[in-house]
Amino acid sequence: MRKLFDTSHDFIGTQGLEKVVKIRIEPSIFEFLGWYDKGLPYFVNTESLVAFGFNIDTNYKPLLSLERLQQDENYTDYYQRSFNVTKYLSNIHQNEGGNILVVGHAGTLEVCTRQITGMPVRPYAEFNATIRKVPYLGLAMIEKEASSSSFEIQGSLEKKKFSFHLFRNSKKISC
């Protein structure tokens, strides 16, 4: 989990916004709970993250709290949970315009974009095969079409000359 906060913090920092943009913690984006048969891992609390130097939005109210995540979910529940949070984030920010950055694990790219772009849930084997192909720091971008209010996956970000530094290990990542 720490890598998610490091990535969020460093990405915002490369934009010069680390003092302006606060990280919002959304447990709904957490990966498939079916992979955790011995219970959820320990999560660092918000106060500790702030003490570690992360600019956390302590006033943000998530769609679901950690306590409300269903340990017995199946993978289609995971898709639905992720679809719900993607719609939720889009709806609460629709009047502001701009962009929403969601940082998660490999499955997040699939489950947060699949249904909102009108595609059906993949069969489990295909879902597993798909997320195993996501590279480290894999990116996806969806855009809401103003005329139809539908979402479309945009072309590969590799073509957009996007880069940022991971300052913790001094490597420049270009995508």
Which domains are present in the chain?
2-174 (3.40.50.1240)
Q: Are 144 and 150 in contact (CB under 8 A)?
A: yes
Q: What confidence category does residue 17 fall into, taking pLDDT thresholds of 50, 70 and 90?
A: confident
Chain length of the chain: 175
Q: For residue 55, which of 108, 102, 11 has the smallest C-alpha distance?
A: 11
What was the pLDDT predicted at 169? 36
What was the pLDDT predicted at 96? 76
Here the tokens at position 19 are: 């003092």
φ and ψ of 169, to 5 deg: -125, 15
Whether pLDDT at 158 is above 60: no
What was the pLDDT predicted at 75? 92
What was the pLDDT predicted at 1? 61
Predicted model pTM: 0.79
Q: Are 35 and 4 in contact (CB under 8 A)?
A: no
Q: Are 5 and 104 in contact (CB under 8 A)?
A: no
Whole-angstrom distance, CA of residue 112 vs CA of residue 29: 8
pLDDT digits (tens, 9 = 90+) for 91-150: 887 777 777 788 888 888 889 889 998 999 999 999 999 888 887 777 777 888 777 778
pLDDT digits (tens, 9 = 90+) for 25-59: 888 889 999 898 888 888 888 999 999 888 999 99
Long-range contacts of range 18-22, CB-CB < 8 Å, 24 or more positions apart? 18/55, 19/55, 21/55, 22/55, 22/56, 22/57, 22/60
3-state secondary structure of 50: helix
Here the tokens at position 87 are: 């719609």
